[in-house]
Amino acid sequence: MKLNKLLLGISITVTSFQALSWGQTGHRVTGAIAEQYLTAKTQAAISALLPNEDLAEASTYPDEMRSDPSEFWKKTASPWHYVNVFDNKTYSDVAPPPEGNAVTALANFSKQLKSEHSSLAEKQLALRFIVHIIGDLHQPFHAGNGKDRGGNDVKLQFFWQDSNLHRVWDSELIDNQKLSYTEWTDRLNKKISKQQAKEWMNTDPLIWIAESAEIRKKAYPKEDKISWAYQYQQLPSVKQRLQMGGVRIAAYLNQLFK
């Protein structure tokens, strides 16, 4: 309660919510798209750290480990999947919370990955988290408004099934297309032009967050029963965020391993 009062009216607030960001399909798509834009040096570095594991597999690890009973996965790492940005504010308007968030975790894991003092296990964890977090920050409701737990509190029906707005964006808009992650990857990859890839090669998480927050603000439905119309309106944004997330995972890793 004290923390909520302290942060009232500012742009970032810590609000714990259970969320899996993009579902497994979405995360795997961003990881698989990223593979297409890695430099040879980056590919070699990743293969040395994660032999027989591609970025599609690595991308879901931080969510899969939430079932681990340890304090690290149940509590410590929980805030690292999202940020909260109030409407008409920016991430930079206030210092990050003491528990950390996706931005601070990304910075810390980047240092851990590059440090010569990190063990192999620490570097592997860092790499998996980096891939995952970048995907997270491209899901608009992982740049939440600080009021409704990233849309989790917005209860609704999606195609006549009980759901909530966060879940719709995490997975249901994607899964409703009945495509595997490889089918999604193939379709989305074909539609990324060289010019788009060049323009999207941005490694600043504050830009990703600002983009997600703008999409989020326009993604609240006017009704609590949504289906074809909402899907038609929002699916283009879902597709582009998956594409951009994949390109930027590659750009970020290329920069780290440069």
Per-residue pLDDT for the chain (258 aa), expressed as one digit of tens each? 333 333 333 333 333 444 557 899 999 999 999 999 999 999 999 999 999 999 999 999 999 999 999 999 999 999 999 999 988 889 988 778 999 999 999 999 999 999 999 999 999 999 999 999 999 999 999 999 989 999 899 999 999 999 999 999 999 999 999 999 999 999 999 999 999 999 999 999 999 999 999 999 999 999 999 999 999 999 999 999 999 999 999 999 999 999
Gyration radius of the chain's alpha carbons: 18
What single letter denotes the amino acid at residue 87? D
Non-local (6+) Cβ contacts of 175 within 8 A are 23, 25
**Apex 62 CA angle, 212 and 255, nearest 5:** 65
Phi, then psi, of 58 in degrees rounded to 5: -65, -30
Q: Say what the pTM is.
A: 0.91
Strands (E), the chain: 83-84, 143-144, 155-158, 161-164, 225-226
Q: What CATH architecture does domain 2-256 belong to?
A: Orthogonal Bundle (1.10)
Instruction: Give the count of alpha carbons within 13 A of 132, CB side only.
Output: 28
